[in-house]
Amino acid sequence: MPLPPLQAGSCCRYSAAAPSAGGLDPTTPVHGESFSDSGDGSRVPLLRTKSVQLGDLDSALLAEVKDVLIPHERVVTHSDQVIGKGHFGVVYHGEYTDETQTRVHCAVKSLSRITELQEVEAFLREGLLMRGLHHPNVLALIGITLPPEGLPRVLLPYMRHGDLLRFVRSPQRNPTVKDLISFGLQVARGMEYLAEQKFVHRDLAARNCMLDESFTVKVADFGLARGVLDKEYYSVQQHRHARLPVKWMALESLQTYRFTSKSDVWSFGVLLWELLTRGAPPYPHVDAFDLTHFLAQGRRLPQPEYCPDSLYAVMLRCWAADPAARPTFGTLAREVEQVAAALGGDHYVQMSAAYVNLGLDAPKDATVPPEQSLPPAVPRSPGRPRPLSEPPRPT
């Protein structure tokens, strides 16, 4: 039976991170002869070796890869169906044949933007991070394939509805407030699991969460995630060339370059804000280099128009200057669930209203403390709730 056609705009959008703040140097020139144009306008030198054999890999890494290896002849990559681009390369739509001889949709992460063998190994380690993670709200690893010619590829589940940011921004969708809060609840549950597994994600944002065919959210993109084990924090100074998502970062991470589960909590607050604004960019009039000073003065993102007061209170707790004062993801999951349960009805968050009362027309140096930035009473949209899968009604 033929597979259904690829849905446009779906799956695994691995966006470039936001510009870095002062003190963070995201780019370092690398000399080479062959270059590839990246999605962010930079030019990236390519690895001179176009293929990697098993024997080329670190022996310890090789042992791990063999545990999740999928024979290359069972994998078909549709090179004409690009569904995303990331730090390492391109994400394609593909299919693989599982143990029951069933053809299954998948996303195939390939390598095209690498400079040395160590980056090939880093790419594989990123994929292996997901090997032991099993939670309904965390993206799983299908496996890794090593073609006889070419570079390794990581296979991930195919996410029909693509990334969460693109979904909530789409004018073809008309989610209700409860829909958006439900997405946030699922992210909180996935992050609660990751925190229990001693993982710090470091790049939690709507763009890095995926939606499957049943609108289940999967926390994804572990390109910056690292297992912290018994360490108290993970320092970027050990990897100073990383591109960091500055406007999603906690104040202490901007100041000290340290990341913990509590800095992920700050990012989760920004993600909630993204959802309730239908994907508005955070701090649109604050330059990334000025963000540390902006936050240190106690300024925070304003309350979105359709955001319940109780949910905005949760966001503000996520953005507490003292990391110890922030809630855990377990607490956040319970509180967000309570907010959703307390809503009196389902209301649309219209695209035209999602950017109101966010200070987008304010001067660039606008500095409004959060307690003074609450919007007026929110007008609610009439009409019956519409399932996410139902197309919008004509106006």
In the annotated binding site for ATP, the residues are 109
Q: How far apart are CA 393 and CA 386, in angstroms?
A: 9
Identify which of 13, 149, 145 has the alpha carbon closest to the alpha carbon of residue 90.
13
Q: Is 83 helix (H, G, I), strand (E, B) or coil?
A: strand
Q: How far apart are the first and last CA of the chain?
A: 39
Q: Is 152 helix (H, G, I), strand (E, B) or coil?
A: coil
Identify which of 162, 272, 144, 181 has the alpha carbon closest to the alpha carbon of residue 220.
162
For helices 309-318 and 261-276, angle between their N-to-C axes, nearest 10 degrees: 150
Q: How far apart are CA 345 and CA 380, in angstroms?
A: 10
Is 322 a residue of the active site? no
> Taking a C-beta distance cutoff of 8 angstroms, is the pair 359, 302 a contact?
yes
Q: How far apart are CA 299 and CA 291, in angstroms?
A: 10
Strands, E assignment, the chain: 35-37, 43-45, 75-85, 90-97, 103-109, 143-145, 153-157, 199-200, 209-211, 217-219, 226-227, 234-235, 258-259
Strands, E assignment, 190-301: 199-200, 209-211, 217-219, 226-227, 234-235, 258-259
Q: How far apart are CA 163 and CA 315, in angstroms?
A: 22
**90-97 β-sheet, strand order:** 75-85, 90-97, 103-109, 153-157, 143-145
Please, how many CA atoms are within 13 Å of residue 4, restricted to the half-sphere of its CB? 7
In the chain, the largest separation of any two C-alpha atoms, in whole Å, equals 65
Which residue ranges make up the annotated binding site? 109
Annotated catalytic residue within 203, 221, 290, 346: 203
Q: How far apart are CA 8 and CA 14, in angstroms?
A: 16
Catalytic sites, residue numbers: 203
